[in-house]
Structure 1
Amino acid sequence: MGIVRRQGLRNTVISYAGLALGFVNTVLVLPKVLEPRQIGLTSVLVALATMFAQVSAFGFGNMGVRFFPYFRQPETGHRGFLPFLLGVPLLGFGLVAAVYLAGKPLVLSWYAKDADLLREYYIWGLVLALFTLLLNLQDTYLKSLYHTAFSSFAQEIILRLLITAGALLFGGGYLNFHGYVLWYIGASSSIALLLTLYTAYIGELHLRPTRAALRVRPLGEMLSFGAFALLGNVSGVIITTIDSLMVGSKVSFDGAGIYSVAFFISTALVLPFRALYKIAFPLLADYWKDNDHARMADFYQRTTRLNTLLGCYLALGIGLNLDFIFAQMKPAYAAGATSVLILLAGRLFDGITGVNGLIVVTSPRYRYDLVFNASLAGATVLMNLLLIPRLGLTGAAVAASVAMVLINIARTWFVWHSFGLQPFDKRVPLILLLAAVAGLTAWLVPFVHSLFVTMLLRSTLLTAVYGGLLLLTNAEPQVRETMQKLLKRGAA
């Protein structure tokens, strides 16, 4: 657990700093200077770019993490792994680009209400897709090398600072909206270039292709894994982006902008989970390689307890203070408050069920993850088709949350049934009970003078009660250990 703690701590610190910057972007900057329709455009472009980037990758992100332990050999440049990792997806991107351009009339017909606005920036979505692909592949490579902190820093800090700067320039009149969109795409694209420079800096930019890369493991095995991972990844992207795309299509770009802001507020809950998963993925691959089920079982339960503890605290902190959060924006964005609460519930369940998805993907039975994702993607599209016309933004949130709950129930059962691993111990229900008590206590605080003062009182009380109960009951031993270390440092 040593490397997990070190890298996980760095990623968590970076993620929380990114959370603060994301809050500034989403609450204090973007909704103050941009109309919902304008934010809706960028969210749709990002969703389209993400979709096409995943198709282009041909599952090589997952393949890279899964098979890199067999390639790891620094003295030979890891046997040509990086050129192999980049080569096939870049060939795939050429095909995807042709489909993207040929499908322009069809895509514009889906967004008939805002077709004029989307038409102007359609080609830029392809540029964003290319750099999204490169970013994802380089992030995979750095994960495999256990160099995750800088990648997190670039994506969570630098990118958000650049987006904030662009919004401020737009708000100050130095950029028109066209200039802001180009700035946004340029900022996102520059992160991929920055990771290339970092990879060269640490001496791991090995771009010379070698035939050895095709002999480390059977090529058919790697391509087969990539093909299955592709279908799984596309299903995953559908699950996470289809709501924004369909709100933009079925409602409007205004609705997509409001939903995008609500969606981001809820993502504050998952940042500590993502920080841990970055290092968990290659670690689990090594556990499977070594057939070390005991350490995997211990890791599974520890991460579940930690995710439960942090997830409950963040979900309560966000949910109790939504009035304050939406008061910082233009009034139109408050229509997404119900969506935030529903999304928080789904994301909390996703975190509590632990790393089940990563265990399946890195296991010898990885093909079953495709069944889960493909079935769920279909169900998600169907639920969105049924619920968005009837419930609008709330329907999209319900569909997304139900999707997260269903896939995690299925995966958790599968991991337990197939490998005898389950994420829960007796401490998890206790943590949930303590969180409920702390949340109820904070919720009982009435409105005091202003939303800001009320937010401070509720947050302080939530922290004090929750933290005190955790220390008193020792529901999670790491909390007491961390507190003791901090006290020792303070005394020194």
Structure 2
Amino acid sequence: MGIVRRQGLRNTVISYLGLALGFVSTTLVLPRFFAPSQLGLTLTLSAIATLFAQLAAFGFASVGIRFFPYFRNRENGHHGFLPLLLGVPLLGFGVMTALYLWGRPVVLGLYAHDAALLGPYYVWGVVFAFFTLLYSLLDAYLKALYHTAFSSFLQDILLRLLILGGAVLFAQGWLSFHGYVLWYIGANGLLVLVLTGYLRRIGELHWRPRRAVLAVRPVRELLSVGGFTLLSSLAGSIIMYIDNLMVGSQVSLAAAGIYGIAFNISTALAIPARSLNKIAFPLLADYWKQQNLAGMADFYRRTTRLNTLIGCFLALGIGLNLDFIYSLMRTEFAEGTLVVLLLLGSRLFDGITGVNGLILVTSPRYRFDLVFNVSLSVLIVVLNLLLIPRLGMVGAAVAAVVAQVSINLARTWFVWHAFRMQPFTWRIPLVVLLAAVAGTAGWLVPAIGSPFLTMLARSTVLTAVYGGLVLVTGTAPEATALLRRLRR
């Protein structure tokens, strides 16, 4: 267990550094150097490459992690597991490449108003997808070997530093935009080379195929599990990327760039929930193992209260200070203000409904989680088709809100119906009421000289009023207990 603890600690540090670096680069630096259409192009290429790679992989990244213990034997090269892990997806990549190139007129037809901008990079999407596919497979192999920290460092820190470096070179005039796009793609390729070198260094780069690999587990079983995993991961990717792709195709790549930055700003609200989920996942699995449903229900309520408490504060902090955030970018990006507010509402509701998804995915009825994820992805696509032509990129944000609220209500009802657990107590509406009062107080603070001074004043008022009301009313026992400890 020593290696697991060491890798876990390193991953935690890398994850938080990566989140901070990612927020700074994608929200504050890149929008300062690039036009919306340029950012929209890179975001579109990234989304296409991710979906392309996932379809080609056929779920084999997750299959590799799940089944590797059956193949583990370092002395004989793990029975040729690595060639199998790479071989099937590479066959899929060949098929997907043929379909992708054959479908070029259809794809560029969807982006007719920006075909001149996207067209020169269409074939480069194949290269980008190839690097993305190889990295995901090698990363899965390393996870199965319990070597996760190095690949996390490459993905969360080195890649973002390389992208920032390319942006600085572009801003200084040493790279054209075409050169920057190739730099962006090449940075992903560099990660694959470094990861391959790391595998060789630790003695785990076993390239030689072995016929014995076919006898360890039936290939049909691997493909079956891979297909199930593909549906799940593809649904998750559609939820993540489809908004940008559809805004880019139905409005413009510039609108996709503005929407992408608004999306990135709203992700700050999800950081505490993601951190909490890392802790919640193994705890919930343990509750299920012990059949401690009473303890799980109490944990469900407490985490929901904590998510609501922190989420309301962060949502108000971001919403009240959007003028300051957008003052750090090109003026065109401020068109995404309403999109940010809508997406903040969507993420806040997702937090308020608690850890229902984790309860479901760790339960005996885990397959229903796939049903909800597929339903969510289908609902988002349908709503985008209906709303984007009428409302533009705001329509995509409205679709995200409606879809997230609908699915979270359905998932919360399912958890209550199946396991008789629900996360709400009288403290939840009280927290929302206190947040509304504090938000109104912050909103009433007039503009003071500069966006920075206004941000400081509004944040101070918001923090003082919200924190004071929470402590006085005893809404959050955790906050009161923390204050007592600090006084001691």
Which TM-score applies when normalising by structure 1? 0.83
Shift of 1:81: 7.0
Matched residue, 1:322: 322
Partners in 2 of 1:291 and 1:83 — Cα distance?
41
Q: 1:69 to 1:143 in 2, by over 3 A?
A: same
Cα deviation, residue 105, structure 1:
1.9
Which residue of structure 2 aligns with residue 159 of structure 1? 159
CA contact under 8 A between 2:4 and 2:146: conserved in structure 1? no
Identify if the C-alpha distance between structure 1 residues 420 and 180 changes in structure 2 by more than 3 Å, giving closer, same or farther. Answer: same
Q: Distance in 2 between matches of 1:336 and 1:119?
A: 26
Q: Measured at CA, do residues 115 and 278 of structure 1 come closer, stay the same or move farther in structure 2, by a change above 3 Å?
A: farther
Alpha-carbon spacing, 1:139–1:314, altered in 2? closer, same or farther (3 Å): farther
Deviation at residue 322 of structure 1 after TM alignment: 0.7
Q: CA deviation at 1:17?
A: 4.0
What's the CA shift string for 1:95-123, capped at 9, x where partnerless?
22222222222111111111122121112
Matches within 5 A, 1:36-435: 36-63=36-63, 67=66, 86-137=86-137, 152-194=152-194, 223-278=223-278, 297=297, 300-425=300-425, 427-435=427-435
Please tell me the residue identity of whatever aligns with 2:417.
H
| Aligned equivalents of 2:80, 2:282: Cα separation in 1 | 19
Residues 55 and 96, structure 1, Cα contact 8 Å, conserved in 2:
yes
Classify 1:446/1:10 alpha carbon distance in 2 versus 1 (closer, same or farther; 3 Å): farther
Q: Shift in Å at residue 218 of structure 1?
A: 6.9
Change in 2 beyond 3 A, CA 1:428/1:82: farther
Pairwise CA RMSD = 3.9
* 2:460 maps to 1:460: yes
Instruction: Give the distance between the partners of 1:425 and 1:472, measured in 2 at CA.
Output: 18
Distance change (3 Å), C-alpha of 1:470 and 1:63: farther
Q: CA deviation at 1:394?
A: 0.5
What's the offset of the Cα at 1:449? Answer: 1.6
CA contact (8 A) 2:27 2:264 kept: no
Relative to structure 1, the CA distance from residue 91 to residue 424 in structure 2 (aligned partners, 3 Å threshold; closer, same or farther) is farther
Unaligned runs of 5+ in 2: none
What TM-score does the superposition give when structure 2 sets the normalisation length? 0.83
Q: Which amino acid aligns with 2:414?
A: F
Bigger Cα displacement from structure 2, 313-322 vs 201-210? 201-210
Q: Structure 1 residues 384 and 186 mapped into 2: Cα distance closer, same or farther (>3 Å)? A: same
1:299-349 deviations in whole A, cap 9, x for unaligned? 544543443333222211111111111122222111111111111111122
How far apart are the structure 2 equivalents of 1:139 and 1:431? 41
SS of residue matched to 2:123: helix
Tell me how far 1:429 sits from its aligned partner: 3.9
For residues 268-326 of structure 1, the C-alpha deviation after alignment (integer angstroms, 9 at most, x for no partner) is 22233334445655665676677665665555445434433332222111111111111
Give the distance between the partners of 2:421 and 2:148, measured in 1 at CA: 27
Counterpart residue type for residue 313 of structure 2: Y
* 1-structure distance, mates of 2:385, 2:483: 49
2:25 paired residue number: 25
Letter in 1 for 2:440: L
- The residue that corresponds to 2:449 in the other structure is 449
Secondary structure at the residue paired with 1:174? coil
Shift of 1:479: 4.4
Query: More displaced, 369-378 or 112-121?
Result: 369-378
For 1:331 and 1:478, locate their aligned partners in 2 and report how far apart those are by CA, in whole Å: 41
| Change in 2 beyond 3 A, CA 1:272/1:60 | farther
1:440 is matched by which residue type in structure 2?
Answer: T
For the residues of structure 2 that align with 1:245 and 1:413, how far apart are their CA atoms? 31
User: Of the two, which has the highest radius of gyration?
Assistant: 2
Deviation at 1:445, TM superposition (A): 1.7
Rounded to whole Å, the distance in 2 between the matches of 1:4 and 1:305 is 31
User: What is the alpha-carbon distance in structure 2 between the residues aligned to residue 84 and residue 26 of structure 1?
Assistant: 36
Contact 2:304 2:355 in 1 (8 A): yes
**1:469 and 1:154 mapped to 2: Cα distance?**
43
- 1:15, 1:271 within 8 Å by CA — same for their partners in 2? no
Work out whether residues 41 and 253 of structure 2, in 8 Å CA contact, stay in contact via their aligned partners in 1. yes
Are residues 247 and 60 of structure 1, via their aligned partners in 2, closer, same or farther at CA, if it must alter by over 3 Å?
Answer: same
User: Deviations for 1:34-59, whole angstroms, at most 9, x for unmatched residues?
Assistant: 11111111111111112112212323
- Unpaired runs of at least 5, structure 1: none
Residues of 2 paired with 1:279 and 1:143: CA distance?
A: 19
Equivalences, count: 485
Which amino acid counterpart does residue 262 of structure 1 have in structure 2?
A
Distance 1:282 1:196, change over 3 A: farther
Decide whether aligned partners of structure 1 residues 464 and 418 sit closer, same or farther in structure 2, where only a CA change above 3 A counts.
same
**Alpha carbons of structure 1 residues 50 and 276: separation in structure 2 relative to 1, 3 Å:** farther
